[in-house]
Amino acid sequence: MNGKQRVLAAINGDYKDRPALSLTLSLYGARLIKCPLTEYYCDPDKYVEGQQKSVDIIAPDLVYSPFALPLYGKAFGSEIKIYQNQAPNLAKPVIKKIEDIKKLDFKRAIESAEINYFVESIKGLHRALGDETFIGAIALGPVDLPIMLMGIGDWLDLVISYPDEAASLIEKTSDFFLKLSELFFDAGASAIVLPSCFVNPSIVTKEIAIDLLAKSEKAFANAKGPLVLHSAGAKLLPFLNIFQELKNVAAFVISSDDDIQNARHYLPDGQVIIGNLEGPDLNRMEPNEIAGETEKICNTCDADPHFIFGTSGADIPYDTPLENIRIIKETLEMSR
């Protein structure tokens, strides 16, 4: 079986030779090809080269488009910081006061160099790896994009103190998301992966979550392909019962703090569960520890046909020894 077949088998609940493997190697690809991040996060060819290398060396079954969310902010005029060895960060949001929301230029953003970088990266991944590998295109959803436009504090304030303005912005970001996801699917994405940076139990109350998801419902309902909701490191479990009702969501990347069996309890209809090894911790774990964790998770999910083993959270850190990643694949191979 190839990687794509394994992931599709997990979606359909069919037989697979071993659990499919999802590793968040977006950043790590730059290390594998020794590419400076200033280049890697703006040149789609370099990004594809990095991911190709990760497939050659580690062979995950699922690869991701750039996990560089602040670039979405940059597409609208936010300033970002590029580091030597970590994914970019938001430095100065474009929205400084409520009135600035009206100035957001969604048309210009969709035609920006940053969105073009994402689209071309997906096209390149599709050309290079699409026959054999499942391609997850990372996109910011309607209620998460505002974080990159105004910062999480001001977005929280807007949601709580100015709900009408927040609703009006979500209406626009929902349309933006639909255009973006169409571009990504046309470019060859197998699924769109939405990191749920804002709607999670460590950030908002359940009432706020329900309200925000209702306001962004059309973005989910009208998506032209499968969506994957990514925990972005926070626990998903307390909100899974509301997330599982969203249209077109085929899979969830849960947190390493979520109990997998409990998660399955909330997802009885065969939605795929992806995770549950903490990716950002891999640089400070020993290979035998990683193997032990991998084995434990695989044993727990042995009977679950809709499970994909993978790293939870954000990127696997740049300084992670390669043997720490390879051991995951080796352990998985042994669990055949």
Partner 1 sequence: MEKTKDKFFGFLVAADKAGALQFIDHWAESKSYEKALLEVVEPALQKFGKLWARQEDVNLAQGYISAKIAESVLLRIVEERKQNETQIKTKGIAVVGNIEDDYHALGRKMVYNFLLISGWEVYDLGNDVLAEEFVNKAVDVNASVIGASAMMYSNAKNMLKIRNALNDRNLSGKIKFAVGGAIFNLRPKLVEEIKADGTAANAIEAVELFNCLTAELGK
Taking CB under 8 A as the rule, does residue 57 contact partner 1?
no
DSSP SS3 for 81: strand
Q: What angle do CA 142, 215, 154 make, to 5 degrees?
A: 60
Q: How far apart are CA 148 and CA 164, in angstroms?
A: 20
Minimal distance in Å, beta carbon 152 to partner 1?
6
Q: Which is nearer to partner 1, 49 or 211 (CB)?
A: 211
Minimal distance in Å, beta carbon 319 to partner 1?
9
Minimal distance in Å, beta carbon 90 to partner 1?
6
Minimal distance in Å, beta carbon 137 to partner 1?
24
- Among 12, 38, 89, 262, which residue interacts with partner 1 (rule: CB under 8 A)? 89
And the tokens for 250? 């085929």
Q: Classify burial at 73, counting beta carbons within 10 Å of its beta carbon; exposed 0-12, middle 13-18, buried 19 or more.
A: buried
Minimal distance in Å, beta carbon 219 to partner 1?
21
Minimal distance in Å, beta carbon 232 to partner 1?
13
Q: Which of residues 195-214 bind partner 1 (CB under 8 A)?
A: 201-205, 208
Taking CB under 8 A as the rule, does residue 85 contact partner 1?
yes
Minimal distance in Å, beta carbon 7 to partner 1?
30
Q: How far apart are CA 148 and CA 145, in angstroms?
A: 6
Full DSSP string of 2-45: -HHHHHHHHHHT---SS-EEE---TTHHHHHTT--HHHHTT-HH
Q: Which of residues 96-155 bind partner 1 (CB under 8 A)?
A: 151-153
Q: Which of 110, 257, 89, 263 is nearest to 172 (CA)?
A: 110
- Among 11, 62, 90, 227, which residue interacts with partner 1 (rule: CB under 8 A)? 90
Q: Which of residues 317-336 bind partner 1 (CB under 8 A)?
A: 317
Q: Which is nearer to partner 1, 139 or 158 (CB)?
A: 158
- Could you give the count of Cα atoms lying within 13 Å of 124 in the half-sphere of its Cβ? 19
DSSP SS3 for 98: helix
Q: Which is nearer to partner 1, 124 or 151 (CB)?
A: 151
Minimal distance in Å, beta carbon 237 to partner 1?
13
Q: Which is nearer to partner 1, 3 or 93 (CB)?
A: 93
Taking CB under 8 A as the rule, does residue 83 contact partner 1?
yes
Contact code string over 291-320 relative to partner 1, x by CB under 8 A:
--------------------------x---
Full DSSP string of 166-229: HHHHHHHHHHHHHHHHHHHHHHT-SEEEEE-SSSSTTTS-HHHHHHHHHHTHHHHHT-SS-EEE
Residue for token digits 């991911």? 51
Positions in the binding site for partner 1 (CB under 8 A): 81, 83, 85-86, 89-91, 151-153, 156-157, 159-161, 201-205, 208, 317
